[in-house]
Structure formats: C-alpha cells, structure tokens
Amino acid sequence: MLNCFGIIFILSQYVVINIHYYVKTVVTILIKQSVVKGMTKKKEQFDILKEKMIQFLKERDWEKFHTPKNVAMSIAIEAAELMELLQWSNPEKATVISDQELMSQIKDEIADIVIYTISLGLSLNIDIFESVLAKMDKNLKRFPPKNELK
C-alpha cells in the first residue's frame, strides 16, 4: 500500500510528464520573442526577475528552504495547479482567453512556475535564459521545419 509520500511522488511524476508539452510550448514562445531583435533587452528583463527573486528570498531568510528538491517539487505542484484549472474540460483557446477569471488564475500559476524555476536556476547556478536558448537550438536541429522527425 502506498503511503502519502509515495502517492505524492507518483502524482509529481505524472505532472512532470504531462507538463512537458506545456513547458515546451512556453519555451518556444519565449525563444521566438528572444530571437527577434531586442534579445539583449529580454535578457536584461530576465535578470531583473532574478534580482527580485534573490531580494525576496533574502528579506524572508528563505534561501535555506529553496533546496533543489524542494523547489523542483514546488514547480511540479504549481504545474498541477495549472492543469487543475482545465481539468475535466477541453475549452477552445478563444474560450479560455475570453474568461477573465480563468485567465487571471492561469497567469498566476504560470508566474508561480516561472518564479520557482528562477529560484531553482539560482540555487544551481544555471543561466536559465541561456539554457532555454541552447535547448531551443537543440530542438530546432531535432525538429526541423517541414522535414520528417529524426
């Protein structure tokens, strides 16, 4: 019989697998925005987010709680909360966009995911901006446009 931690682990694995598609889509959008002129400005804006996160954690003395495991679990939990907003429905994009309350909740959950991702990057000294660019380069080679998948 599974204990509470076993169930949480299984659910977190399920969330990670299912969120892959959503993260890939968000990353693709971020990369496309960065490739267009103004990438330096985007990098500077991302650095501002990192500095705000550092300040937020320091002011509360929360760095000690933001271990890689804790933050990775928090990302999975927030991703599950995002999925829960659309659970048991499959609305069209236009329907979701026109629902202001739902959009507000989705924005909050996406922000939570990004905030925890920034925290994880900070704790592991990962330049998330550069990592996303590098991963998109890999994906462009792996999935070239109008060609068969490798």
What are the structural domain ranges in the chain?
A: 4-142
Six-digit token string for 76:
């999975």
Are 78 and 116 spatial neighbours (Cβ–Cβ below 8 Å)? yes
Please check the confidence at residue 146 and state whether its pLDDT lies above 90. Answer: no
| Alpha-carbon distances, residue 137 vs 15, 65, 128 (angstroms) | 25, 33, 14
List pLDDT tens digits, range 5-57.
666 666 566 665 656 555 666 666 666 655 555 677 788 888 888 999 999 99
Name the DSSP letter for residue 89: -
Are 45 and 144 spatial neighbours (Cβ–Cβ below 8 Å)? no
Residues near 42 by beta carbon (within 8 Å), at least 6 away in sequence: 33, 34, 129
Domain 4-142 CATH superfamily:
MazG-like (1.10.287.1080)
pLDDT at 41: 79
Q: CA 140 to CA 150: how far, in whole Å?
A: 11
Q: CA 80 to CA 7: how far, in whole Å?
A: 14
List pLDDT tens digits, range 110-143.
999 999 999 999 999 999 999 999 999 999 999 9
